[in-house]
Structure 1
Amino acid sequence: VPTDCPQRDERMGWTGDAEVFSGTASFNMDTYAFYAKFMHDVWQDQQFYNGMVASVVPTFNKNKDPESGFASGGACAWSDCATVIPWEVYLHFGDKTILENQYDSMKAWVDWIRRQDEKSGNRRLWTVGFHFGDWLALDGPVAGGVMGGTDNGLLASAYYRLSTNILAKAAAVLGKTEDAAFYGELSEQVKAAIQNEFFSKNGRSTILTQTAHVVALHFDLVEPEVRGRVLADLQALLRKSNMHLKTGFIGTPYLCRSLSDNGDSESAYKIFFQEDYPSWLYEVLMGATTIWERWNSILPDGKISGTGMNSLNHYAYGSIVEWMYRNMCGINPVETAPGFRKIHFKPEVYGKLFHAKATLRSAMGLVESGWKREDNGTLTVSVTVPFNAEAVLWLPDADLVSLKVPAGLSAEQDSSKVKISLQTGCFSFNYQPTRSYEMAYSIESPLRELLITPETKAVLEQHLAHIIQMANGDMGMELPYSLGEIARAKDSFIAQMVFRGVDIEALDVDLQKVKPKIRR
Structure 2
Amino acid sequence: MVNYLIFLPVGNNPSKPNWRSNYPSDPNWGSAMPTITWQVYRHYSDVQTLKDYYDHIVAYVKYLHGIYNATGLANFTVRFGDWIPPPPEPMTNGSLIGSFGFLRDVNLLINMSQNFYADGMQAAQVLALALPDVIPANVRGAVINQLITDINQKGNHMTTGIVSTAQIYPILSDNGHHDLALELISSTTYPSYGYMFNNPYENATTTWELWNTPLTGPAMNSHNQAMYGSVGAWFYSHLAGIDLSSNMITIRPRMASESKKHIMSKLDCQLSTLYGLVHVSYTRDERDTISNSILLRVTIPPNAQARVIFEPLFVGGQYKTLIEGNKVIWSSDFDTMNV
TM-score range, shorter chain: 0.5 to 0.7
Q: How large is the Cα RMSD of the aligned pairs?
A: 3.4
Asked if the contact 1:355/1:371 (under 8 Å) is kept, the reply is yes
Evaluate the alpha carbon distance shift between residue 202 and residue 266 of structure 1 in structure 2; reply closer, same or farther with a 3 A threshold. Answer: farther
Structure 2: gaps spanning 5 or more residues: 1-68, 74-102
Asked if the contact 2:267/2:283 (under 8 Å) is kept, the reply is yes
Pair 1:363 & 2:281 matched: no
Look up the SS of the partner of 2:211 in the other structure. coil
The whole-number CA distance in structure 2 between the counterparts of 1:255 and 1:196 is: 26
Deviations 1:267-289 (A, max 9, x none): 11121122111110000113100
The whole-number CA distance in structure 1 between the counterparts of 2:155 and 2:180 is: 11
Deviations 1:51-107 (A, max 9, x none): xxxxxxxxxxxxxxxxxxxxxxxxxxxxxxxxxxxxxxxxxxxxxxxxxxxxxxxxx
Deviations 1:152-174 (A, max 9, x none): xxxxxxxxxxxxxxxxxxxxxxx
- Larger relative contact order (C-alpha < 8 A, sep ≥ 6)? 1
Letter in 2 for 1:297: T
The whole-number CA distance in structure 1 between the counterparts of 2:140 and 2:209 is: 31
Deviations 1:465-496 (A, max 9, x none): xxxxxxxxxxxxxxxxxxxxxxxxxxxxxxxx
Pair 1:200 & 2:107 matched: no
Q: Which residue of 2 aligns with 1:213?
A: 125
Structure 1: gaps spanning 5 or more residues: 1-119, 125-191, 300-304, 413-420, 424-520
- Find 2:321's aligned residue among 387, 403, 409: 403
Evaluate the alpha carbon distance shift between residue 400 and residue 363 of structure 1 in structure 2; reply closer, same or farther with a 3 A threshold. Answer: same
Q: CA deviation at 1:228?
A: 2.2
Asked if the contact 2:185/2:193 (under 8 Å) is kept, the reply is yes
Look up the SS of the partner of 2:270 in the other structure. strand
Letter in 2 for 1:310: N
Letter in 2 for 1:293: E
Provide runs of 4+ in structure 1 moved above 6 Å. 120-124, 407-412
Pair 1:347 & 2:254 matched: yes
Deviations 1:228-254 (A, max 9, x none): 222111111111111111111221001
Evaluate the alpha carbon distance shift between residue 253 and residue 375 of structure 1 in structure 2; reply closer, same or farther with a 3 A threshold. Answer: closer
The whole-number CA distance in structure 1 between the counterparts of 2:180 and 2:143 is: 14
How many residues in Structure 1 have an aligned counterpart in Structure 2?
A: 218
Q: Which residue of 2 aligns with 1:380?
A: 295
Pair 1:278 & 2:194 matched: no
Which entry has the higher C-alpha Rg, 1 or 2?
2
TM-score, normalising length from structure 2?
A: 0.56
Evaluate the alpha carbon distance shift between residue 311 and residue 226 of structure 1 in structure 2; reply closer, same or farther with a 3 A threshold. Answer: same
Evaluate the alpha carbon distance shift between residue 391 and residue 294 of structure 1 in structure 2; reply closer, same or farther with a 3 A threshold. Answer: same
Identity over aligned pairs, percent: 26
Deviations 1:131-183 (A, max 9, x none): xxxxxxxxxxxxxxxxxxxxxxxxxxxxxxxxxxxxxxxxxxxxxxxxxxxxx
Asked if the contact 1:200/1:206 (under 8 Å) is kept, the reply is no
Asked if the contact 1:368/1:385 (under 8 Å) is kept, the reply is yes
Q: CA deviation at 1:223?
A: 3.7
Letter in 2 for 1:311: S
Written as runs of structure 1 = structure 2, the 5 A alignment for 1:9-408 is 196=107, 199-200=110-111, 204-207=115-118, 208-220=120-132, 221-286=134-199, 287-299=203-215, 305-306=216-217, 308-334=219-245, 336-337=246-247, 341-349=248-256, 350-374=261-285, 376-377=287-288, 378-397=293-312, 400=318, 402-405=320-323
The whole-number CA distance in structure 2 between the counterparts of 1:362 and 1:123 is: 49
Q: Which residue of 2 aligns with 1:437?
A: none
Q: CA deviation at 1:345?
A: 2.0
TM-score, normalising length from structure 1?
A: 0.38
The whole-number CA distance in structure 2 between the counterparts of 1:203 and 1:368 is: 45
Asked if the contact 1:203/1:230 (under 8 Å) is kept, the reply is no
The whole-number CA distance in structure 2 between the counterparts of 1:290 and 1:345 is: 29
The whole-number CA distance in structure 2 between the counterparts of 1:254 and 1:215 is: 7
Evaluate the alpha carbon distance shift between residue 243 and residue 389 of structure 1 in structure 2; reply closer, same or farther with a 3 A threshold. Answer: same
Letter in 1 for 2:254: P
Q: CA deviation at 1:410?
A: 7.8
Evaluate the alpha carbon distance shift between residue 280 and residue 375 of structure 1 in structure 2; reply closer, same or farther with a 3 A threshold. Answer: closer
Evaluate the alpha carbon distance shift between residue 355 and residue 121 of structure 1 in structure 2; reply closer, same or farther with a 3 A threshold. Answer: farther
Q: CA deviation at 1:307?
A: 6.0
Evaluate the alpha carbon distance shift between residue 227 and residue 370 of structure 1 in structure 2; reply closer, same or farther with a 3 A threshold. Answer: farther
The whole-number CA distance in structure 2 between the counterparts of 1:197 and 1:235 is: 24
Look up the SS of the partner of 1:348 in the other structure. coil
